[in-house]
Structures are given as C-alpha cells and as structure tokens.
Structure 1
Amino acid sequence: MKPLFAVLLACCLGCCALPGGARAAEATEAIAAGAQAAGASRQLLVMLRLPPPHYRPDSSYGGGYADDGTRAARRRQATELAAAYGLKLVDDWPMPAIGIDCFVMEDPGSAPLARVLDALGGDPRVAWAQAVNDYRGLDGAGGRGGDPLLPLQPAAHAWRLAELHRASTGRKVMVAVIDSGVDATHPDLAGQVALRQNFVDTVADAAESHGTAVAGIIAARAGNGLGIAGVAPQARLMALRACWEIARQETRCNSFTLGKALHFAVINDARVINLSLGGPPDRLLQALIETALARGIAVVGAVDPERADGGFPAAYPGVIAVTASGDRRFLPAGALQAPGADIPATLPGARWGMVSGSSYAAAQVVGLAALLVELRPAPPSPWRRAFVTAARTSLVAQAGGARQEQAGSIDACATIARAAGACVCLCPSTAATTAELLH
C-alpha cells in the first residue's frame, strides 16, 4: 500500500491539474446561461393518447410505435390544440410504455398557467396536462463540490465490499443512471458505460460532476490501480443525461427530460434505475415509475431532507428511498440508510474528489441492488424487502471499537448472504467471536 502522504499528494495533484481548465470554465458558463434561459420559459406538458399496440405474430414484431401510422395525426392534433389555447408547440416524445405521446407547449402570455392547464384538462382530446416541474440533485452543502480525494471509501469498511465481491460484482446487470452528463472517458469508467444518451435539448451536452460521481460510485472499475471501486464494478451503465449543471455545480432537471430518460430506461431493459434527485410529485413521472415497478425494475430514489415526506420520487410507493447514514434532519418511515458523507467519487477530467449527500447514498444502494440482480435475476416484490436492515438503533461491535447503527441501516453482508444462500462475511468461525463482543 502506498504511504498515505503520497496518495494524498497524488490525489491533490490530480484534482488541481485540470486538463483544459479554461475551456471547462467557458463550457460551465455556457451551460449556466442556457439553463437560466430554459428556466425562464413558461412550458407545460400535454399528453395525447397513443392507439393500442397491434400485435403481429411474426419475427418482425418488436412492439414499437415508431411507424404506427398515427404520429402525423397526433402532431396535427397537438398543433390544433396549441392554436386553440394560444400556445406554441415546442417538442414531443412518444412514450408507448405508458400509452401516451408527450407534447411540450409554451405559453407566451403572463396569465397563471393553472388556467390553461384546467382548460386543457377538460378537453376530450387530452389525456392530461401538467406543468413542467423542476428537480435538483441531492448533494450535501447545497450541491457544491467536496474536498480533494482521501483514500477512504466508507462502504468498503461498513459494507465489506471486498467480501461482497467474492459473491457478486453485478456482472452484466444493466443500470440506468438518470442524471447529469457522465464522463464515459474517465479512467475509472472506461468500458463501463454501455451507452450514453442526451435528453436535454436546451443545454449543451457535457460531462458533468453529479452524474459522473454517481456513475463511479455505482460501477467504477475495480483492480485497475486507479481511484475507487464501484459497489457493482462489473455492472453495465446506461448514462442517460436528463439533468444539467448550472452555477456552483447545482444539478437541475425537469419533467420532460426525466420522462424521456425514464421511458428509455424502461423500454431498453434496465434492471435498476438510479434517481439521485428530488422535487414535487409529477403525474408523468409517476406513470413511468409505476410501469418500471410493474416490470420488476428496481427504482432507487434519494431522500430530500428538506421535504417532510422525503420528496419525490423517494416517497412514491415502491421506490426504494435512501438517506445518508447519520443524517438526523429527516428519516422517512421505511427509508434505507447508506453511507453518504465524504464519499470518494469520480469527477470529469480524469479526477476524483469527495462528495456528500443522499444522492451518493442512493448510488451505493443502486450498486447493491445490481449485486442482488446478478445473484437472483427474478426480482422480489416489493424490492425493498431484498435488503436486510437494522430494526432498531443499537451499538454494534466492530474492529476498532463500537459504532452506532440506526434503524434502517443496511446490513450489506446479510443482504448478499441471503440472496446467495451462503455465508459471505460472517462465517460460523467468526460469528461466535462477534456474538461475544456484542454481549
């Protein structure tokens, strides 16, 4: 093992010597300007129903809607609706998984949008209409970046990752990271990203901090002599950019961009979906999450400690809600706790850094879910039951002293052992010693 000072020095140099630093600063300013412009618009979503799918019993049937023959008719209908209500048609995205075509429209006026939404909701041509809600990544410290990387990975100790990886590495499990842009060229993510898709049309595409950090925590390469090891180092990532970063690395998303990414993840066979973000309840996103859950997909959401119910999507039934261990600001009933402070993570530009917040606690649970999928491809129902947790707050003995374990804290060893049907961490020879310590 390298001396601690040498590791810290190398990490600091890696964080400070940023390739193309001036260009990165210019790109950040451009992204911020674009996000502010996008946020100033008065947009809403209008849903038109798709026709039921027509099954063709031959080898060419794929269940798709790309050439269903009605797309042009729906577009004409949307144009008519926009003209009738004084709106401008901006964009659309078919979502056959939930049977709707989602049209983005803009109100150029200044009257409350609620009036237009009420009128559209009563139009028989419209399935429903809603506002375009805003969401944010749930970092610690208001979304600002952390300190230079320290050679400490909390899950490596609390969850005993090295022992878990003897049983499962998440091999070939497809994980959808719905977030800001992922740096697929990062040396710890090289070869880990199966595909990268951008669903944000109004803000320039970029490799961004929040999405890159989340991706690395889930699936950074292990044993490559660099940086960190992901919780599921052999999982495959769908890097779906539905969010963008603005000033001070704050991460923002909206209903339409998230809806497009969620629909893509559902129809392209993601097994686990990461949603390290929070905001208000949203009918479109709820419909897509329900469809994902009905297909056995694990959907993991980060708890927003500033919202009484934990925020959306974390508080939505069936979503695996995750909060950072030790965060006593708010703990929703049934939420899981995972390490969420001072997490070493991948950052754009071949860098690593420290991050904190429930976004990153959720990312670790996503990785653990991928380990479970490899061991037992048939999903549990509900998914939350797959995780073994502490039932109450207690003191637990461990090497180096006792630690406090809160209700809802994940016992990763027990979780993987139950799925594997075999001992993973505490085997019979050590279980007796541990029992003596606890008493």
Structure 2
Amino acid sequence: MKAALLALVAVLMAFACVVPRASADTQAATHPVSTPAPATRQVLVMLRMPSPHFRPDGAYGGGYTEDGTRAARRRVARDLAATYGLRVVDDWPMPAIGIDCFLMEDTGTGPVDRLLDTLAHDSRVAWAQAIQDYHGLADGDPLLPVQPATHAWQLPALHRASTGRGVTVAVIDSGVDANHPDLDGQIKLRRNFVDAYPDGAEAHGTAVAGIIAAREGNGLGIAGIAPGAKLLALRACWETAGPPARCNSFTLGKAINFALMSDARVINMSLGGPRDRLLETLLDAALARGVTLVGAADPAQPDGGFPASHPGVIAVASDTQRAPPPGSLRAPGTDVPTSLPGARFGLVSGSSYASAHVAGLAALVLELRPGTTPARLRADLDGGARIVPAALASGAGQAGSIDACAAVARAAGACFCLCPSTTTTASLPSPRPPH
C-alpha cells in the first residue's frame, strides 16, 4: 500500500513540478499584458453561413473557412456594429453548426440585455448572446489524498470548521520561497535576519511554511493545515551541505523579537540546540503576551532539546518516533508531501514537519477561540491526545497522538468530523469568550 502511495506521489509530483515559477516582476504586475479585458460589455453575434454545396469527392469536408461569402458576412458584421454602437473584436467560423461567430464589444452604456434583444430582432442575425464564464471541476489539491493529516486528522472536515483565518503564524526558519505557487498570497511579510549568508529560497523553511499554510483548492500541490492563516517568513537560519538548516542565538533572537513586535499569535520553531539565556528570555516574554510557541522535539535529546523543552513550549515529535520525550505530543512527520523551492513538491520526514502541523492546528483553534491562552491551547491538545499502541509497546506511554478533531471540536463547541473523544455535541463544552 505504501509503495502504491509513493508511486502516486511520484506521478503527481512530476506533474506539479512543471508549474512555472513566477518571477518577482510578474508577481508585481497587477494587470499582465496577456490578461483579457473584462467581458461584461462583450457579446457574441452569430451570422448564418450559406448551406454547403455538396461535391462528390472524398476530400470535401463541408467547411467554409475560406468560402467566398466570408467577406460578405464580415461586411454585415461591420454594418451591425456601426448600427448598434458595437466594435468587432474577433470572429471565428463554425461550419459544424453553420454559423460565423463574431465577438463584439458594446461601446455604449445602456443595458446589455436590451442590446441583445434588439440584435435578436434584426433579420441578419441568427442569434446574439452574452459571454458566459465557466470554471474547471478538478479536485482542489492533487496531493491532498496522500497527505498524512488528510486521514489521521480528517483535514477536509477540520476546514469546514476553521482555516486559521485572521491568525498570523511566524515561521522562524531558513528562507521561504515566497514565489512558490502554493504559497502565493500566504506570506504576510518576509524578513532576513542572516547577514553572513546570501538570502534566498531554501528547502527547510519552504517545506515548513507549506505544511502550515499552503493554499487550499488551487488545483495543485497540497492543502496547508491552516490555509487561511498568514505567515511571517522570518529567515533566521541558513542552509549548508550539513544539517538541514543552521541558526545562532543572534539570528534567532532577532527573529523572535520581530515576531513579537509584529503581533504573531503562533511562533513555530522547527529547530533544536542548547539552552540560551537570550532566547529563554524572549520565549518567556512571548508566553507572557499570550503567544503560542511550538517547537520540534530533538529525537537525539532525552528531554527533546531546546526550545522544545522550555516551559510553556508545545513540544512535538514525529508520529513514528519510537521514544518521544516525556510531555511531547505526536503529529504527522513521516513522508509528508509539501512545497519545495522552485515551484516543486517533495516528501519530507522529521519532527520539524510534525511541529509545523501543530502550529497550523493552533491557528485553527485560535480562529475559533481567539482569546485562548497558550496553556489552555496546550491543554486542549493534550486532552484530545490518544495513547497510540506503538508508543505503549515502546514504553513511551506518556506521549500522545493528537486528536485534531477533538481539539477543534472543543474550540468550536460542535463536532465537524468523527470525533472519537467527543461523540455527541452535547458533551462538548461551550467555547469560552475571548479574554
């Protein structure tokens, strides 16, 4: 089964990878040259073609693309345009239905419906009609079926309750590709706090950002856990040939400070290292301001490492980690499809990406209950945790797999999916008012 899913991902990624990367100039242009003019004043005017003259040879197709009466129909179209205040924009012969279709633009200001009625009563016109708009009906996000959160967290059902709208999430990480099509419009602002290494789009930060807030229903890639949230893409780390991303106290301190000054509600830190006084002081200040802090648990450290082990930080381990730190929560973190620089997609694994899932889930809760404190939000996630058999078998029974449905149901006061911990809405507590 896993092999089949991976094969599906490979096919879908091959398709998604051909999406062209938009340049900064293209994104800045409000009305690209290729964008068609609004069609609200445009109409289609049909003129009849003469009946085809049958010629008994096999090469005859019955078409009139170059027939001798084409010029006469164009003269009729120009006369109609002059009579009714129209401008001929384009035309296309359609011999399969025996008409020549003329696209015309109304240069007046009167009701278009009245113009169409007038044209319909002109004997030279087969019929006239308004331009109609249509939209494709493809599934919204091709990789959504293979996202772990789609099944484990019932992500589409969660989005019926909340998308994280109005919540700002700070991604303190390596550089985020702001031009990625699945992150287009999702980044509120981007700042670089690394002076020693050139700025740019980097894999770790782009992958984390996509898991949190990739656009939903745009016809490509994935759906973020909180597609309605806005991101502060704060580059405090840089990527080298060694670890996925490297940071230091100074770059991280500048980024956390900026997040606090920019009213971030959630700060995601998919990184780990030694304790640091500057960073501890900033994290305490963030908690005092009611900011939810989410950190990736380092599997190499018994306590999860810093900042995950700092009091008040929600520590998150990958769902497949055999012995997660005490007090940490489990979230999807294995073979997760997400965004990569250059309009690409790929699979990622690790607690960095599990942390991103919980940062997005925190945004869903905060949209529904904006006054939720970090401690209350952690309690909601903890209360919706299930002890998974794998954790019990490994002796790590204190680590829970988050029941996202139950956590969102508590915030909403109603269940929007199959909530194992809350089978009836009557058992759900009413959401607390903001405080």
State TM-score, norm by structure 1.
Answer: 0.62
Which of 3, 10, 24 in structure 2 is aligned with 1:8?
10
Task: Return the alpha-carbon distance in structure 2 between the equivalents of residues 190 and 204 of structure 1.
Answer: 22
Say whether the 8 Å CA contact 1:150–1:354 is kept in structure 2. Answer: no
What is the deviation of 1:407? 4.1
Please say if 1:355 is aligned against 2:348: yes
Q: Where does residue 314 of structure 2 map in the other structure?
A: 320
Task: Return the alpha-carbon distance in structure 2 between the equivalents of residues 248 and 151 of structure 1.
Answer: 32
Which of 363, 366, 371 in structure 1 is aligned with 2:364?
371
Say whether the 8 Å CA contact 2:386–2:402 is kept in structure 1. Answer: no
Which of 394, 412, 416 in structure 2 is aligned with 1:420?
412
Instruction: Within 5 Å, give how 1:326-345 maps onto structure 2.
Output: 326-328=320-322, 330-345=323-338
Task: Return the alpha-carbon distance in structure 2 between the equivalents of residues 19 and 237 of structure 1.
Answer: 20
Aligned residues: 293
Radius of gyration: which is bigger? 2
Counterpart of 1:170, as a letter, is G
Instruction: Within 5 Å, give how 1:20-419 maps onto structure 2.
Output: 152-247=146-241, 250-328=244-322, 330-382=323-375, 383-387=377-381, 388-390=383-385, 392-394=387-389, 407-419=399-411
Say whether the 8 Å CA contact 1:151–1:344 is kept in structure 2. Answer: no
**Relative to 1, partners in 2 of residues 1:187 and 1:337: Cα closer, same or farther, differing over 3 Å?**
same
Task: Return the alpha-carbon distance in structure 2 between the equivalents of residues 350 and 12 of structure 1.
Answer: 11
Describe the superposition over 1:236-265 as per-residue Cα deviations: whole angstroms up to 9, x where unpaired: 000000000001562100000000000000
**Relative to 1, partners in 2 of residues 1:150 and 1:367: Cα closer, same or farther, differing over 3 Å?**
closer
What is the deviation of 1:222? 0.2
Task: Return the alpha-carbon distance in structure 2 between the equivalents of residues 209 and 347 of structure 1.
Answer: 5
Say whether the 8 Å CA contact 2:326–2:399 is kept in structure 1. Answer: no
What is the deviation of 1:426? 2.4
Question: Using CA pairs below 8 Å that are at least 6 residues apart, which structure has the higher relative contact order?
Answer: 1
Q: Where does residue 30 of structure 1 map in the other structure?
A: none
**Relative to 1, partners in 2 of residues 1:269 and 1:409: Cα closer, same or farther, differing over 3 Å?**
same
Say whether the 8 Å CA contact 1:8–1:150 is kept in structure 2. Answer: no
What is the deviation of 1:369? 0.1
What is the deviation of 1:424? 1.5
Task: Return the alpha-carbon distance in structure 2 between the equivalents of residues 339 and 232 of structure 1.
Answer: 15
What is the deviation of 1:285? 0.3
What is the deviation of 1:294? 0.5
Task: Return the alpha-carbon distance in structure 1 between the equivalents of residues 309 and 18 of structure 2.
Answer: 39
What is the deviation of 1:379? 2.0
What is the deviation of 1:11? 1.4
The gaps in structure 2 that reach 5 residues or longer are: 23-142, 391-396, 425-435
Q: Secondary structure at the match of 1:194?
A: strand
Task: Return the alpha-carbon distance in structure 2 between the equivalents of residues 368 and 17 of structure 1.
Answer: 28
Task: Return the alpha-carbon distance in structure 2 between the equivalents of residues 351 and 229 of structure 1.
Answer: 14
Say whether the 8 Å CA contact 2:327–2:398 is kept in structure 1. Answer: no
Counterpart of 1:188, as a letter, is D
Say whether the 8 Å CA contact 1:389–1:407 is kept in structure 2. Answer: no
| Identity between Structure 1 and Structure 2 (%) | 64
Counterpart of 1:176, as a letter, is A
Q: Secondary structure at the match of 1:304?
A: coil
Task: Return the alpha-carbon distance in structure 2 between the equivalents of residues 151 and 308 of structure 1.
Answer: 34
**C-alpha root-mean-square deviation of aligned residues, in Å?**
2.8
Task: Return the alpha-carbon distance in structure 2 between the equivalents of residues 170 and 239 of structure 1.
Answer: 17
Q: Secondary structure at the match of 2:146?
A: coil
**Relative to 1, partners in 2 of residues 1:211 and 1:317: Cα closer, same or farther, differing over 3 Å?**
same
Deviates more, 1:235-244 or 1:375-384: 375-384
**Relative to 1, partners in 2 of residues 1:19 and 1:391: Cα closer, same or farther, differing over 3 Å?**
closer
What is the deviation of 1:408? 1.1
What is the deviation of 1:172? 1.8
Task: Return the alpha-carbon distance in structure 2 between the equivalents of residues 334 and 156 of structure 1.
Answer: 25
What is the deviation of 1:331? 1.6
Counterpart of 2:156, as a letter, is A
What is the deviation of 1:431? 4.8
Task: Return the alpha-carbon distance in structure 2 between the equivalents of residues 171 and 189 of structure 1.
Answer: 15
State TM-score, norm by structure 2.
Answer: 0.63
Q: Which runs of 4+ in 1 moved over 2 A?
A: 3-10, 12-20, 388-395
What is the deviation of 1:381? 4.9
Q: Secondary structure at the match of 2:400?
A: coil
Say whether the 8 Å CA contact 1:302–1:359 is kept in structure 2. Answer: yes
